[in-house]
C-alpha cells in the first residue's frame, strides 16, 4: 500500500464519525418536526387519522368553521368544546389566577419560553392582536414557563416590545404537561366557559387577517346561560 492510499485509509474512520454525527442531527430534526405538528389542523405525513377526522368534524359544527386557513391553516378546530384541567397562573406581581378566574372572556393562551426562537418571532404579533382586539371580551394570555422568577420573562417582553401583554408565569411548572403541549410555542383558544375550542402548535402570524377573523368569531359566541 503506497503512502497516498495509507492516508486515504486512515482518514476513513474520521469521515464515518462525521457522517454519523450529521445523520444523528438530521434524525433529531426529523423527529422534532414530525412530533410538533401532530396536533395541528393541517395533515402532515404520519398524522393520526382520528386527529384529521376531528378537524373535519369540527369544521362542520364549530363557529370557527372554515376559518382555519391561510395563516391559520395549522389551527386545529375542536369538534366540540374540550374540558381543560384547572391550572394556576401568576401575573408579574405574583397575583394568582385560575382557569375559573378567566371565564367570561375568550382567551388565547400562549405557552412560551425565553429560549424559544419562534416565540420571540411571534410575540410582537400576539402583542398586536391584544392591542387591537383585547378588552373585556378577549385577552391574549401569554404564559412564560421559564424557571427562576419573572425577571427574565419581563425583560423578554420589553425586548420584543410586547407592551400590551400582561406578564404571566407558571409558578407550578406543570402547565405544559397539564395542557398536553407537545411543542413550543403552543397556543390554545379558550371560550367564555373555560373550554378549549382550538389550538395551534408552533408559531403563527397572530396579527394576520385570518387570525383576527378567527378570534372575532370566537368572541361573537355568547357565554352559555348559567
pLDDT of residue 24: 37
CB 207 within 8 A of CB 129: yes
Q: Which of 32, 29, 68 is nearest to 183 (CA)?
A: 32
Structure confidence at residue 184 (pLDDT):
92
pLDDT the model gives residue 63: 87
Residue-level pLDDT at 79: 87
Q: In this structure, are residues 165 and 142 in contact, taking their beta carbons and an 8 Å threshold?
A: yes
SS3 198: strand
Which grid cell sits at 181? 403541549
- Average pLDDT over all residues of the chain: 79
Give the mean model confidence (pLDDT) for residues 40-51.
Answer: 36
User: Does residue 67 have a pLDDT over 80?
Assistant: yes
Listed range (16-25, 58-67, 98-107, 199-208) with the worst mean pLDDT: 16-25
Given a cut of 80, is residue 111 above it in pLDDT? yes
Decide: 181 and 142 in contact? Cβ < 8 Å: no
With cut-offs at 50, 70 and 90, classify the pLDDT of residue 94.
Answer: confident
Domains of the chain: 40-219 (3.40.30.10)
Where residue 60 falls among pLDDT bands split at 50, 70, 90?
low
- Overall average pLDDT of the 124-149 stretch: 95
Residue 99, pLDDT > 70, answer yes
Residue-level pLDDT at 149: 84
- Cell readout for 206 is 397572530
Residue of 121, 136, 125 lying closest to 212 (CA atoms): 125
Look at residue 166 in the predicted model and tell me its pLDDT: 95
**Confidence grade of residue 164 (pLDDT, cut at 50, 70, 90):** very high
Q: Is the pLDDT of residue 6 over 80?
A: no
Query: In the prediction, which pLDDT does 8 show?
Result: 44
What are φ and ψ of residue 194, in 5° steps? 80, 25
Distant-in-sequence, close-in-space partners of 29: CB < 8 Å, separation ≥ 6 = none
Q: What is the pLDDT of residue 92?
A: 84
Is 70 exceeded by the pLDDT of residue 13?
no
* Residue 74 neighbours by CB under 8 Å, 6+ apart: 37, 40, 41, 42, 68, 200, 201, 202, 204
Q: What is the longest distance spanned by two Cα atoms in the chain?
A: 89
Q: Mean pLDDT throughout 201-218?
A: 96
Amino acid at each position: 500500500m503506497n503512502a497516498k492510499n495509507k492516508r486515504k485509509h486512515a482518514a476513513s474512520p474520521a469521515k464515518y464519525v462525521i457522517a454519523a454525527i450529521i445523520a444523528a442531527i438530521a434524525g433529531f430534526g426529523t423527529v422534532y418536526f414530525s412530533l410538533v405538528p401532530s396536533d395541528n389542523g393541517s395533515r402532515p405525513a404520519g398524522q393520526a387519522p382520528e386527529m384529521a377526522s376531528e378537524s373535519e368534524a369540527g369544521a362542520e359544527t364549530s363557529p370557527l368553521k372554515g376559518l382555519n386557513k391561510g395563516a391559520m391553516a395549522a389551527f386545529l378546530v375542536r369538534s366540540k368544546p374540550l374540558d381543560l384541567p384547572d391550572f394556576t397562573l401568576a401575573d408579574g406581581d405574583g397575583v394568582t389566577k385560575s382557569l375559573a378566574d378567566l371565564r367570561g372572556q375568550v382567551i388565547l393562551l400562549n405557552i412560551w419560553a425565553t429560549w424559544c426562537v419562534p416565540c420571540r418571532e411571534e410575540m410582537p404579533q400576539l402583542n398586536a392582536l391584544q392591542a387591537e382586539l383585547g378588552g373585556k371580551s378577549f385577552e391574549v394570555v401569554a404564559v412564560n414557563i421559564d424557571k427562576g422568577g419573572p425577571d427574565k420573562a419581563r425583560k423578554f417582553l420589553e425586548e420584543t416590545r410586547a407592551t400590551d401583554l400582561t406578564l404571566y408565569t407558571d409558578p407550578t411548572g406543570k402547565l405544559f404537561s397539564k395542557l398536553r403541549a407537545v411543542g413550543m410555542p403552543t397556543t390554545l383558544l379558550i371560550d367564555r366557559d373555560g373550554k378549549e375550542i382550538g389550538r395551534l402548535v408552533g408559531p403563527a402570524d397572530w396579527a394576520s387577517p385570518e387570525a383576527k377573523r378567527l378570534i372575532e368569531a370566537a368572541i361573537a359566541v355568547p357565554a352559555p346561560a348559567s
